[in-house]
Structure 1
Amino acid sequence: MPDDEKNPAREVITDYAQAHFRYFRTADGTVYAQRNGHPVARPIRSQGTTGSHRQELMVGLFRDGHGVFNGTALKEALDLIEALALTEDVQPVHIRVAPGFDGATWLDLGRTDGRSVRIHPTGWDIAVPDPREVCWRRTQLTGELPLPAKDTDGKGIDLLLRLTNFANAATECLAIAWLIGSLGPSVPVPAPFLTGPQGAGKSSAGRMLIRIIEGMSSDLRRAPKDEENLIAAVAAGWVTALDNLSHMTPDLSDAMCCIVTGAENVKRALFTDGDVFRARYRRPLLLTGIDVGVIRPDLAERLLPLRLERPRVRRTEAELWAEYAEVLPVVLGSLLDLTVKVRAVEAETPTDLRMADFAHLCAQLDAATGFGALAAYRASLDDLNDDVIEGDLLAQTVLRHAADIEPGAEQRMTSTEWLYCLSCLYTGEDFRPLPKGWPTTGKVLSDRLKRLQPTLAARGVLIDSGRTREGRYIEMTRSQVTPPHEQQVF
């Protein structure tokens, strides 16, 4: 009788698994399996429809002549493998984009052969990454990208812009900057908000932008009704694209802020008493819609408005997407060429903008191409500040009050005194009623002013707070610097 038949089934499975797979754990304790020489890793406990490690282990054992094993033997073997893997070094897994060695980054093409794009300031090439350098995690949202074309001479960017309906060159360069930023695993990028009149092709343009990175199978989707489903969708892909937004609740606005700049969600793990499941996420986000109503100031700092206009000539969906699929390899190749060029350029980082990493990227893009992306980004933020002020009666009232303050002068009062002062200014001589949502206490006013600080500062009104022996105070100062929207260009 052969020796293999004398061994318990779990030992045969364990020996085969350790000979053909590499096992490791992530920082949250999840154990992954990686076929030798292949960069794609699967959780060994996954039962997902994208293929589990249990399934590939069963297929490998059968095809290599070891036979078919029952569920008990497989469970015992995987239990042992998981216990052994918990002693291995920690290694992260990545979706679509990952940092590599020597300052390089990788782009997962979603192919079964594992070929990916290595992007470095000296150039880019297609290769299968070393599994110890990059471990890819695949989900149902991981679409396949075509092999990017080489030596495109930048014509792919022109082909992409010809298919979209961006209103002007400033909008086009911001869209390109966002695409380059989305290829970086560690650079938070603001969320493009594609807006324009009905029929401007906002949804089509949004699909074109995300499919450059996520493949032709990716699509826009409706915003989930609860944060838990939104986080699950965000964690399963790289670019999250929400279509046709017409209203934005405070909870959704806060969730979007977390998606753009990064956060962590912790909840109780299933079928456990005290264990927890951690989900870290920071992803590129894209939005489309005609108007979302009032924009909260913290989200406005994380948005990138991209305006579109109605096309003069209409095309059928079939014609449009057939041409897009044909030029996608050239578009992706040109985007990679430009990314390499931008990353090789040194530029000064603007220190006055919230999204400093993206501002630095815009400065690099300007140095490499002369597009004027940084100026366009500043102008877009100024427009968003106008939108915030137009939708906030308290901000409008504060600016009316500040207009009577001498430049450089300070006014200091308690929050209650400020509430009385601003309420009287709003009601005026005709004693019109205060609007819905107006602060009702000094504490509420103080919190609202803190949220409005960046917006008001952009208009030359500085809000600060502090404490003296008499109590807490709020201080309002009118800056001596001319706000950007009041500066004239000759």
Structure 2
Amino acid sequence: MAEDEKNPAREIIADYAQAHFRYFRTADGTVYAQRNGHPVARPIRSQGTTGSHRQELLVGLYKDGRGVFNGTAMKEALDLIEALALSEPVRAVHIRVAPGFDGATWLDLGRTDGMSVRIHPTGWDIAVPDPGEVCWRRTQLTGELPLPAKDTDGKGIDLLFRLCNFASASSECLAMAWLVGCLGPSVPVPAPFLTGPQGAGKSTAGRMLMRIIEGMSGDLRRAPKDEENLLAAVAAGWITALDNLSHMTPDMSDAMCCIVTGAENVKRALFTDGDVFRVGYRRPLLLTGIDVGVIRPDLAERLLPLRLERPAGRRTEAELWAEYADVLPVVLGSLLDLTVKVRAAEAETPTDLRMADFAHLCAQLDVATGLGALAAYRASLDDLNDDVIEGDLLAQTVLQHAETITPGTAQRMTSTEWLACLSRVYSGDELRALPKGWPTTGKVLSDRLKRLQPTLAARQVLIEAGRTKEGRYLEMTRPAPTPPHEQPPLP
């Protein structure tokens, strides 16, 4: 009797699996299988119709002459493997972009052979990463990228912008900064918001930007109706691109803030009473639309408005995307060359901007290219502050009242007193009715003002909260203008 016939089927499967795969767990407790010598790992409980670990095992056992096994034997073997893997060291898995050794980062090309791009301080090259350095996780949203071209002399960037309809050089340099930021696994980047008149090609430009990193199969999506579906889409890919936004609820706005700067979601595990699973995420986000209505201040600080204009001439979709597919290797190669230059540039980090990492990247881009990306970023934030103020009657009223405060002095009142004061300022002599959404209590006013603090500070109106023996207060200040430096006397 053959040796395999003496062993139960589950033992044959388990022995074969441990000989050909490495099993480990991630920080959230998910167990992954990684074929020996290959950088791609799959969750062993995946029930995907293509590419699941169960299918890997079935095909491997069959091709190696071990036989065909039923579902019960496979389940028992995987249960044992999963239990053994829980005692293995924790490892991280990455989608599309990952940190490597010695300051390098990796870009997954989505190929079956595992070929990836290693971006290091002295350049970039194409190789299969060592499984001990990088472990890729792939989903149905992970498209394949072409092999990037070498020695492009930067012409790929010009080819890209020739296909897009950006209205100004400022929008182009900010788009470049965002693309470079997308290749950094530890750099949170603001979400580009592609705006412009109808027919400006916003959706097409959005697809072109994301497909540089996500491949030709990457596409824009309609915004999900709830936060749970949005986070599911975010967790399955690297860049999440939402098309044709016309309205944004407060909950969706908060979710987008979390996506840009990072957060963790904890949910109850299915079919359990007390178990939970954790999903941490921070992803590049891209939005398109003509207008999303009122923008909340916290989201405005995380947006990157890129304006487009209507093209002088039209082309067919087939012609446009055929040309894009031809130049994509050159565009990707030029982006990688630019990324190496930007990372090597020395620049100070601006300390007055919320997205300090991206502001530092813009400063590095300026050192490397002299494009003025940091100034363009500041100007874009200033425009967004204007949008926030134009859409918020309370902010407009606060700025109107602040004009009555002497620069360099402060005005202090309780939140209830401030509510009465600002309501009088809004109503004026005409005794206008207070608008819908106006704060109804001092607590609501205090919360609204805290949210508006960065926007008002950009207009030289400072709001601070404090407490004395008498109780809590809000203080409004207009800083005194800084006197110009005296010129030294002429010799």
Give the 3-state SS of the residue equivalent to 2:102 in structure 1.
Answer: helix
1:333-372 Cα distance to aligned partner (Å, 9 max, x none): 0000000010011110000000000000000000000010
Q: Distance in 2 between matches of 1:361 and 1:270?
A: 41
Q: Distance in 2 between matches of 1:290 and 1:66?
A: 59
Q: Distance in 1 between matches of 2:481 and 2:153?
A: 44
Name the residue aligned to 1:114: 114
Shift of 1:481: 4.4
Alignment of 1:167-186 (within 5 A): 167-186=167-186
Name the residue aligned to 2:375: 375
Task: Answer yes or no: is 1:43 the counterpart of 2:27.
Answer: no
Tell me which amino acid in the other structure corresponds to 2:375.
Answer: A
Q: Distance in 1 between matches of 2:304 and 2:32?
A: 37
Give the 3-state SS of the residue equivalent to 1:185 in structure 2.
Answer: coil
1:67-111 Cα distance to aligned partner (Å, 9 max, x none): 111111111111111111111110010100001111110000000
Name the residue aligned to 2:445: 445
Contact 1:460 1:481 in 2 (8 A): no
Shift of 1:480: 2.4
1:150-203 Cα distance to aligned partner (Å, 9 max, x none): 000000000001000001111100000000000110100000000000000000
1:411-448 Cα distance to aligned partner (Å, 9 max, x none): 00000111111100110111011111111111110000
Tell me which amino acid in the other structure corresponds to 1:27.
Answer: A
Q: Distance in 1 between matches of 2:14 and 2:249?
A: 51
Name the residue aligned to 2:314: 314
Name the residue aligned to 2:252: 252
Give the 3-state SS of the residue equivalent to 1:234 in structure 2.
Answer: helix
Contact 1:50 1:139 in 2 (8 A): no
Cα 1:3–1:154, aligned 2, differ >3 Å: closer, same or farther? same
Name the residue aligned to 1:141: 141
Structure 1: tracts of 5 or more residues without a match? 483-490
Contact 1:50 1:138 in 2 (8 A): no
Task: Answer yes or no: is 1:94 the counterpart of 2:94.
Answer: yes
Q: Distance in 2 between matches of 1:481 and 1:72?
A: 77
Name the residue aligned to 1:349: 349
Tell me which amino acid in the other structure corresponds to 1:318.
Answer: A
Alignment of 1:218-233 (within 5 A): 218-233=218-233
Name the residue aligned to 1:488: none
1:368-423 Cα distance to aligned partner (Å, 9 max, x none): 00010000000000000000000001101100111111111100000011111110
Q: Distance in 2 between matches of 1:247 and 1:29?
A: 37
1:446-475 Cα distance to aligned partner (Å, 9 max, x none): 000000000000000000010001110000
Q: Distance in 2 between matches of 1:86 and 1:78?
A: 12
Give the 3-state SS of the residue equivalent to 1:278 in structure 2.
Answer: strand
Alignment of 1:158-307 (within 5 A): 158-307=158-307
Q: Distance in 1 between matches of 2:277 and 2:263?
A: 14
Tell me which amino acid in the other structure corresponds to 2:228.
Answer: E
1:108-166 Cα distance to aligned partner (Å, 9 max, x none): 00000000000112110000011111111110100000000000000000000100000
Number of residue-to-residue matches in the alignment? 482
Shift of 1:11: 1.4
Contact 1:31 1:86 in 2 (8 A): yes
Q: Distance in 2 between matches of 1:13 and 1:469?
A: 73
Give the 3-state SS of the residue equivalent to 1:180 in structure 2.
Answer: helix
Q: Distance in 2 between matches of 1:396 and 1:480?
A: 21
Alignment of 1:123-142 (within 5 A): 123-142=123-142
Q: What TM-score comes out, normalization by structure 1 length?
A: 0.98
Tell me which amino acid in the other structure corresponds to 2:196.
Answer: G
Q: Distance in 2 between matches of 1:28 and 1:257?
A: 23
Give the 3-state SS of the residue equivalent to 2:286 in structure 1.
Answer: strand
Shift of 1:15: 1.1
Tell me which amino acid in the other structure corresponds to 1:278.
Answer: R
Give the 3-state SS of the residue equivalent to 2:430 in structure 1.
Answer: coil
Cα 1:82–1:481, aligned 2, differ >3 Å: closer, same or farther? farther
Name the residue aligned to 2:486: none
Name the residue aligned to 1:3: 3
Q: Distance in 1 between matches of 2:79 and 2:359?
A: 48
Give the 3-state SS of the residue equivalent to 2:305 in structure 1.
Answer: strand
1:231-287 Cα distance to aligned partner (Å, 9 max, x none): 000000000000000111101100100000011111111111211121111100000
Name the residue aligned to 2:365: 365
More off after superposition, 271-280 vs 359-368: 271-280
Give the 3-state SS of the residue equivalent to 1:429 in structure 2.
Answer: helix
Q: Distance in 2 between matches of 1:417 and 1:240?
A: 44
Percent of residue pairs identical: 88
Q: Distance in 2 between matches of 1:289 and 1:49?
A: 34
Name the residue aligned to 1:485: none
Structure 1 stretches of at least 4 aligned residues deviating more than 4 Å after TM superposition = none
Tell me which amino acid in the other structure corresponds to 1:73.
Answer: A
Name the residue aligned to 2:416: 416
Cα 1:70–1:50, aligned 2, differ >3 Å: closer, same or farther? closer
Q: Distance in 2 between matches of 1:172 and 1:480?
A: 37
Q: What TM-score comes out, normalization by structure 2 length?
A: 0.97
Name the residue aligned to 1:430: 430
Q: Distance in 1 between matches of 2:462 and 2:92?
A: 43
Provide the alpha-carbon RMSD of the alignment.
0.8
Contact 1:460 1:480 in 2 (8 A): no
